[in-house]
Amino acid sequence: MSNRKSTPFTNEHFAAFCQSMIGQPYWYGCVVYKCAEDLRARKAAQYPSHYGSERTRRYKQDIAAKKVCSDCVGGCKGYAWTGGGLGVVESIGTGKTFTSKYGANGCPDKSANGMFDYAKSKGMDWGVIKTLPEIVGLALRFDGHVGYYIGNGYAVEWKGFAYGCVKTKVAGRGWTHWYKLPFINYEGGGTVVTPPAVDVTLGSRLLKPGMKGADVKALQGLLLQLGYKLPKYGADGDYGAETETAVKAFQKAEGLEIDGKYGDKSHAALMAAVADDDAGKQEGPNIEDEPAKVPESAEKPRRVVIVSNGGKVNIRVGNGTGYALITTVADGTTFDYVATAPNGWNAVVVGAQIGWVSGLYSKII
């Protein structure tokens, strides 16, 4: 662990770098740069709404203190572009400078949301926040923002102009996903504690051999439905060699990359295939376009439970069977409740999006 912490581009080294940046300022559009007047002037011209005159005094204080500035996604980009933070810490409060090379070390210039999409496109592990493993250096995200996990339930994030780079608790912060950055080495990082995959919806994380959970079992059930064989173990919730072979066969049939991992593209293809297979089978009323509404009550219900007598239930993007599938879930699965449509369909939180389930197969609790 100690050796990795001193080795650039390991996840431990990256997490340590993030912690060393606590207290440094947030400058929008910056990527771990030394605070300087010419930089402030350029950024003010480029992003005038973020560099108004009322903020100039603070920016000039940062310059005088010889600090290092960044925005949220700039934290990881700047780490990569400076060769793993080479010379950055030593420059804080001194006249020393450091070199930054645009796009260096396999890190592209992506936005906060774009970096998540890029990581997934490179086959990196990811999942919804409740599956966050105890691996330092992971990126955490919600729409438009990114932070970095440093372990024991804490993250470092360039939170905004008023906060700068700060240490925050993961719980209650609103993070929706975690993911591995493609230019960070997470291998050999010591013991990894992964939360049990309880009530994890299919499509809410990357699945690959060695993983277990309700989402793996749902995947296996859908593969069986479509005619792919799992002769020895069936739908046992364990992503073994048999499941990997079935996934590869499905990927080949759909013209996808045949890697045996179940990610976004495989999930979209599987949902489309299942929808085709289910054609003509309706699990509830047809589409209703009337707006959804929360029941009038003293206290808003908080959860929805799937009630299906053991069968699978489809979660869709709209309140009717004509809408595309998001995922399928098992009897007893629960979700955060959002609203109820006039046709009885319930809106629920699925991962980081809103899905709909027929009131015939769901109950507000």
pLDDT at 194: 67
pLDDT at 102: 97
pLDDT band at 243, cuts 50/70/90? very high
The domains of the chain are located at: 2-179, 214-277, 303-364
pLDDT at 198: 56
pLDDT band at 293, cuts 50/70/90? low
52-66, pLDDT tens digit by residue?
Answer: 999 999 999 999 999
CA–CA gap between residue 125 and residue 247 (Å, rounded): 17
Spell out the CATH class of 2-179.
alpha beta
∠ CA 261-308-270, rounded to 5°: 25
Query: In the predicted model, is pLDDT for residue 224 greater than 60?
Result: yes
- Mean residue pLDDT across the chain: 91
Q: Are 91 and 68 in contact (CB under 8 A)?
A: yes
pLDDT at 339: 92
Q: Are 75 and 160 in contact (CB under 8 A)?
A: no
Cβ neighbours for 180, distance < 8 A, ≥ 6 positions apart? 119, 124, 125, 126, 135, 138, 139, 186
Query: In the predicted model, is pLDDT for residue 92 greater than 70?
Result: yes
In CATH terms, the fold of domain 303-364 is: SH3 type barrels. (2.30.30)
Average pLDDT over residues 309-338: 90
In CATH terms, the fold of domain 214-277 is: Muramoyl-pentapeptide Carboxypeptidase; domain 1 (1.10.101)
Query: In the predicted model, is pLDDT for residue 251 greater than 70?
Result: yes
Containing 226, the helix (H) or strand (E) segment is none
SS3 content of the chain, % helix, strand, coil (to 5): 30, 20, 50
pLDDT at 288: 46
Query: In the predicted model, is pLDDT for residue 317 greater than 90?
Result: yes
Query: In the predicted model, is pLDDT for residue 241 greater than 70?
Result: yes
- pLDDT > 90: percent of the chain: 81
